Amino acid sequence: MAARSKATVVLKAVKKIAVQFCPFEANVRSTREFLVLVGSEKARSTNLNCEVKAIVKHDESEPIVDVTYMDGERLLMKGANLTTGEMLSAFQARCTAKDLQANAAAK
Q: What is the pLDDT of residue 2?
A: 45
Q: Taking the chain (107 residues) in consecutive chunks of 10 residues, what is each chunk's mean pLDDT?
A: 59 95 93 95 94 94 95 94 94 89 77
Cβ proximity of 18 and 66 under 8 Å: yes
Fold topology of 2-106: Glutaredoxin (3.40.30)
> What residue segments make up the domains of the chain, in order of their start?
2-106
pLDDT of 43:
93
pLDDT of residue 7: 61
pTM of the model: 0.86
